[in-house]
């Protein structure tokens, strides 16, 4: 039955972001908070489909990325305590970031400074030469040197978010209903997919990859477009393969502005080891975890989604189409391409060591129309 309710604050999206926000607001203020998610459970999208690493801020330039670095520093002990209090997985597997060129060695030498400025203690990290790398990875990883962040931690963000949701008090949670319309008047009137309505004084849009669509539906951020890419295809390694590799292995990013966009080797908290990472397989929506779209209708509405000009200019750009085609091939074929890229620092890695696919995630690339035209 359609129902109406009032609240002070409506939060759209019960991923890690919306759920943590609900936690903080309800702990600090006496406000009526309503947390809404389209799925039947919290944390059912990106929050449960990521690499699961709590990264320490050694790679963040404290001047250019100071806010991120501070957030990472402050939140780490809170996550640790929370994991301990609620008996949730917390494995300090550590991350080794390897240098494959002289330019990478320069990058790594700046990491010690960043780590110290961002509040990491001296015991948390080490700069390794080739012997040091050999000592910790048993010769399976080859590079000119590496930065070893010992306290990077493997967790399950989905489990953590569900546990946080379980602690919320004074927050009403509405699951299995999406926000389909928001009208601004005296506050905001939200219409949910079952026809019920909700009035809120303030709305937080924490809808992850879907947030821009929500903003567009309210006439906001019209100059921004979003494209979705299956930005995380992971492959599981056989348990008996490369037993000496026990840490996450990343290479120094090719594009420093976009860390974690190069393929990597990860150790999940469960001990399962996977390789993979981003590719640029274009998909039609934020939750398309296989194929190009969930339905022909979705593919069609993707094509004509506003701003249409951005779509058309991209779809007539031969360079873009070539990149999409080759990424699609590497996304749908067995993981030889990923293995080839990782073998520049794990030379004995073979496609035959893969036991099957891991979890896939989707990344949204958002920007002004000009960015995509360029």
Q: Toward ligand FAD, which CB reaches closer, 38 or 288?
A: 38
Phi and psi of 361, rounded to 5°?
Answer: -130, 170
Binding flags for ligand FAD, 203-232, as an x/- string (CB under 6 A): ---xxxxx---x----------------xx
Q: Could you say which residues in the range 53-82 bind ligand FAD, by CB under 6 A?
A: 53, 55
Alpha-carbon dihedral sign for residues 320, 288, 153, 348: negative
Residue with tokens 């990343």: 250
Q: How far is the CB of 19 from ligand FAD (least distance, A)?
A: 7
Minimum distance from CB of 55 to ligand FAD (Å)? Answer: 6
- The residue among 53 and 145 lying less far from ligand FAD, judged by its C-beta, is 53
36 touching ligand FAD, by CB under 6 A = yes
Nearer to ligand FAD, 145 or 279 (CB): 279
364 contributes a contact to ligand FAD by CB under 6 A: no
The region of 46-54, 163-171, 288-296, 344-352 touching ligand FAD under the rule CB under 6 A is 46-54
Question: What's the CA gap between 292 and 155, in Å, rounded?
Answer: 29
CA-based radius of gyration for the chain: 22
Site mask for ligand FAD (CB under 6 A), range 170-209, x = bound: --------xx--------------------------xxxx
Among 56, 268, 311, 363, binds ligand FAD (CB under 6 A): 363
Number of DSSP helices (H) and strands (E) in the chain, helices first: 11, 17
- Asked whether the beta carbons of 157 and 47 are under 8 A apart, the reply is yes
Beta strands in the chain (DSSP E): 4-12, 33-37, 53-54, 95-99, 125-128, 145-149, 153-154, 171-175, 179-185, 187-192, 197-205, 224-237, 248-251, 264-267, 273-277, 281-283, 354-368
Cβ neighbours of residue 135 closer than 8 Å, sequence gap 6 or more: none
The residue (of 17 and 143) whose beta carbon lies closer to ligand FAD is: 17
Structural tokens at position 274: 């996977």
Shortest Å distance, C-beta 16 to ligand FAD: 5
Q: In angstroms, rounded to a whole number, what is the distance separating the alpha carbons of residues 260 and 279?
A: 11
Q: Which residues bind ligand FAD (CB under 6 A)?
A: 12-18, 36-39, 44-47, 50-53, 55, 178-179, 206-210, 214, 231-232, 361, 363
């Amino acid at each position: 039955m359609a129902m109406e309710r009032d609240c002070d604050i409506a939060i759209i999206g019960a991923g890690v972001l919306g759920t943590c926000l609900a936690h903080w607001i309800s702990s600090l203020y006496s406000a009526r908070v309503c947390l809404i998610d389209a799925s039947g459970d919290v944390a059912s999208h990106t929050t449960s489909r990521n690499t699961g690493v709590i990264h320490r801020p050694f790679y963040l330039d404290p001047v250019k990325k100071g806010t991120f670095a501070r957030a990472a520093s402050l939140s780490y002990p809170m996550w640790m305590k929370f994991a301990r209090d609620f008996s949730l997985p917390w494995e300090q597997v550590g991350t080794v970031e390897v240098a494959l060129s002289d330019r990478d060695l320069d990058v790594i030498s700046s990491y010690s400074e960043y780590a110290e400025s961002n509040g990491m203690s001296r015991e948390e990290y080490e700069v390794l030469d080739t012997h040091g790398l050999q000592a910790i990875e048993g010769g399976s990883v080859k590079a000119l040197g590496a930065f070893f962040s010992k306290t990077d931690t493997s967790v399950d963000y989905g489990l953590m978010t569900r546990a946080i949701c379980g602690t919320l008090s004074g927050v009403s949670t509405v699951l299995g209903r999406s926000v389909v319309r928001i009208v601004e008047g005296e506050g905001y009137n939200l219409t949910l997919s079952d026809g019920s309505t909700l009035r809120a004084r303030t709305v937080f849009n924490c809808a992850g990859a879907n947030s821009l669509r929500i903003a567009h539906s309210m006439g906001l951020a019209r100059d921004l477009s979003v494209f979705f890419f299956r930005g995380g295809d992971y492959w599981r390694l056989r348990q008996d393969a490369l037993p000496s590799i026990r840490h996450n292995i990343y290479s120094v990013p090719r594009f420093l502005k976009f860390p974690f966009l190069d393929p990597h080797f990860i150790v999940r908290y469960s001990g399962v080891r996977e390789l993979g990472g981003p590719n640029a397989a274009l998909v039609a929506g934020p939750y398309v975890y296989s194929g190009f779209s969930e339905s022909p209708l979705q593919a069609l509405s993707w094509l004509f989604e506003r701003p249409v000009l951005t779509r058309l200019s991209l779809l007539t750009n031969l360079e873009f189409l070539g990149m999409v085609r080759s990424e699609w091939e590497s996304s749908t074929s067995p993981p030889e391409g990923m293995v080839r890229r990782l073998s520049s620092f794990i030379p004995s890695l073979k496609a035959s060591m893969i036991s099957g696919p891991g979890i896939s995630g989707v990344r949204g690339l958002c920007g002004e129309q000009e960015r995509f035209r360029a």
